[in-house]
Chains A and B, each alone.
Chain A
Amino acid sequence: MRNSAQNRRTRHAAVVGGAVATALLLAACSGGDPEPGTADGGSTADAAGGDGTVTVWHYFSAENQVQLMDDYAAKFEEAHDGVTVENVYVPYDQMNSKVISAAGQQTGPDVVVFNGAEWSTLALAGALAPMEEPWEGFADADQFPDSVIHGMDDHVYAVQGYVNLLGLWYNADILAEIGVEPPTSIDELEAAMAAAVDAGYQGITLSGLPQSQGEWQAYPWLTSQGFDYSDLDEQALTDGFAMARGWVEDGYLSQEATTWDQTVPFQEFTSGDVAFAANGNWQMGTAEAEADFEYGVVPLPVGESGKVYLGGEGQSIGAFSDDPDLAWQYLTETYYDPEGQLLAVDNVGSIPSRLDTSQEAEVTDNSLLEPFATTLAQNGANYPDPIIPPENVAKLQTAMGQAWSAALGGQRSPEDAAADVIAQIQALIG
């Protein structure tokens, strides 16, 4: 058994296909209501006035994600003689500031691939080119649900080529040894983690870094206790923090998680001594390459109130691209192209944002994608929450990430961490 989801193959095709299509449509994005312009769509490299090079800034360092960037470059270069795609790595934490700084100097990348939730930060800084004109002329635009189209003030600034979200990875060998089934509720998860710890294993890994990655990882667990940005409940948030801190105190979760970004905890998981990892679909390639044990994925057991962000990277054209037409062409032939989106499925395990591509066999026959698709359908939530004003998204993410880290690390009690961050959120949301 490579993974336990394979025995559910008969039903997951319907789940994946249907869920992706319907959930993406349902998860309507705030501000994602482009008012199309009058453009003539994407133009060709020949007509462009640039240097024949598409410079793409990204923050990927995992091997499979870098491979996808290389595949996109090769695909585009193969189709266009004389055109070069230059992928430039920028550390995750420095991406926004570098793009904004570059815009201040009236320069920057042709294409920027960034945390889709932070499109407003870049757009407000004038670092992204409005894309509504070529988007209007894009024949396949109707294949993309509103939830992956980001913009404001009648402009489209970013469109996602895929969706990423969190699931609960489990080590099937450990679960078999301790005699438990993959959990479907928090109670079952805690019982399984207790059994794993008793057997000498670690319970779970996740990220508690005090920044946006921490907020992204905290959100499902906090909402499982009833927390909601739209209806701030301090007690629910306290309960969420207390639950996670309890995992640390009970030895299920290492307090070291406060120093981990999302990559490290999955490396810990693939080392084979951890029962569970709350991590994303993009780790499929890493799991296949590094895990020498049987593993599987189930939806995060966050109950009915629990929500899981529908994240992923946004793709945009830089405001000072020297060849925006060629940049647009690159996007339409890679991230927004059916074949390109399948490359992301193969390399990274991302869920295609195109409705037609999400029905392809590569997606529906991928048993590991099923739990993510189920989560997407049942617990998917817009990222960021539409109630957060675009100009305050980064501040709120930092504040919540710090509170999550402070609670996990024991710097603040769950009560104090919740009270502090609720006050900050109220000021940011208004």
Chain B
Amino acid sequence: MSTPAPAAARAAAAAPPQRRPRHQSRYLFLLPALVFLALFSLFPLVQLLRMSLSDVTASTLNSSWLFVGLENFQEGLASGQTGDALVRTAVFVLVVTVIGMVGGFAGAVALRTRGRWSNVLLAVMVFAWALPPVVNGSVWKFLLADAGLLNVVARAVGLTDTALPFLYDQHWALGAVAFVNSWAVIPFNALVFRAALLNIEPEVFEAAALDGAGRWQEVRHIMVPSVRPTMLVLLVLTIVYGFRSFDFIYVMTYGGPGTATNTLPFLGYLQAFSQFNFGLGASTSVVAVLVVLVLAVLYARSIRKEEKE
């Protein structure tokens, strides 16, 4: 049932529309996100920067902060802790990136076809990805323990007589935690890669098959070139993910043995929340933020490039 429109409304409809400038309405839509970002990203970042330039301890945290310039940065570098943590972080990120990217792409290739088993595997991967890192880390800590599954299997197949020191040897520990971090990011990477692979027209594969291309040639000459723009974006995201990883180290090694798994984020945590030297911890975090910012710029550029393509 319709009702007659009021005369005023009819008049308004007949009059030329008073259009709000397009850019104004666009800014209106941007406003909530801007407010959210300012509150929860910009403000904490400014506070972090302020803290890194101040002498902030447990006794001064809740009062005024004394400005000390770059003293905290100098202290971190002079102690050697920041430099050591940077090196460990670089190794950590390298392992996470290589395994995460290769594993993600391999998973996407395996799950490219739609079917019951690929759907089941996909669901399992999403489940593993969605698990909280603390749960993931605890499970892996059991698996990698002396009496854990991996060591039991390694001994059963004669790989070793003694337990493999996954989490308590200074060299193994960093690699083991980085591996678990990689394992956790593989599902996400696989999902993104898979979405890119599904965009390839089936005719391309049919044509390749008619030309006698094998599976490996399909991967090399069709899939890899097709996902290259996505790969660049994902590469930056994975590096950022590796760079800010904290949870698994906290759960699995607590930075140990000694300081062998103290990466930048964990070192910042220790300094701020274990030693309660918030200024020093903030300076370490600022170093990490700077690296992530550089990567964020790269990410933004790669996104723009992908959009153009």
Contact = CB atoms under 8 A, between A and B. Distances in A.
A360 B241 CA distance: 58
A375 interface: no
B257 A258 contact: yes
A417 B259 CA distance: 11
A126 B61 CA distance: 9
List the 7 closest A-B pairs by CB distance, nearest first.
A409-B257, A406-B258, A411-B258, A124-B59, A258-B257, A125-B58, A97-B273
Contact of B146 (A256, A395, A402): A256
Interface in A254-275: 254-259
A211 interface: yes
B146 A408 contact: no
Given A93-B274, A121-B276, A254-B146, A210 B259 contact: yes
A113 interface: no
B299 interface: no
Overall SS of chain A's interface: helix
Nearest to A399: B275
Nearest to A390: B59
A259 B252 contact: yes
B276 A210 contact: no
A409 B169 contact: yes
Interface in A121-154: 121-122, 124-126
B255 interface: yes
B61 A412 contact: no
A162 to B, nearest CB: 25
Contacts of A255: 165, 168-169, 257
B274 A409 contact: no
B238 interface: no
Contact of B258 (A93, A124, A395, A412): A412
Range class of the B interface residue count: 20 to 34
B145 interface: yes
Contact of A402 (B58, B145, B258): B258
Range class of the A interface residue count: 35 or more
A403 interface: yes
Given A125-B58, A211-B274, A411-B259, 14 more contacts: A121-B58, A122-B58, A125-B61, A208-B257, A258-B168, A258-B257, A395-B275, A402-B255, A402-B256, A402-B259, A406-B257, A406-B259, A406-B260, A407-B258
A104 interface: yes
B209 to A, nearest CB: 51
Nearest to A260: B168
B170 A410 contact: yes
Contacts of B273: 93-94, 96-97
Interface in A321-342: none
Interface of B: 57-59, 61-62, 141, 145-146, 163, 165, 167-170, 250, 252-260, 270, 272-277
Interface string A415-428: 00100000000000
Contacts, number: 114
A395 B167 CA distance: 24
Contacts of B61: 100, 104, 125
Contact of B169 (A210, A257, A410): A410
Interface string A76-116: 00000000000000000110110010011000000000000
29 contacts: A93-B274, A96-B276, A97-B272, A97-B276, A100-B276, A103-B62, A104-B61, A104-B62, A124-B58, A125-B61, A125-B62, A210-B256, A211-B274, A255-B168, A256-B146, A256-B165, A259-B141, A259-B257, A394-B276, A403-B258, A406-B256, A406-B257, A406-B258, A406-B259, A408-B257, A409-B168, A409-B170, A409-B260, A410-B170
Nearest to A209: B254
A209 B252 CA distance: 11
A32 to B, nearest CB: 19
Given A259-B253, A410-B257, A411-B260, A395 B277 contact: yes
User: Which one of B62, B146, B254, B258 has the greatest number of beta carbons of chain A within 10 Å?
Assistant: B258
B17 to A, nearest CB: 50
B62 A126 contact: yes
Interface in A185-225: 208-212
B256 A258 contact: yes
A254 B260 CA distance: 18
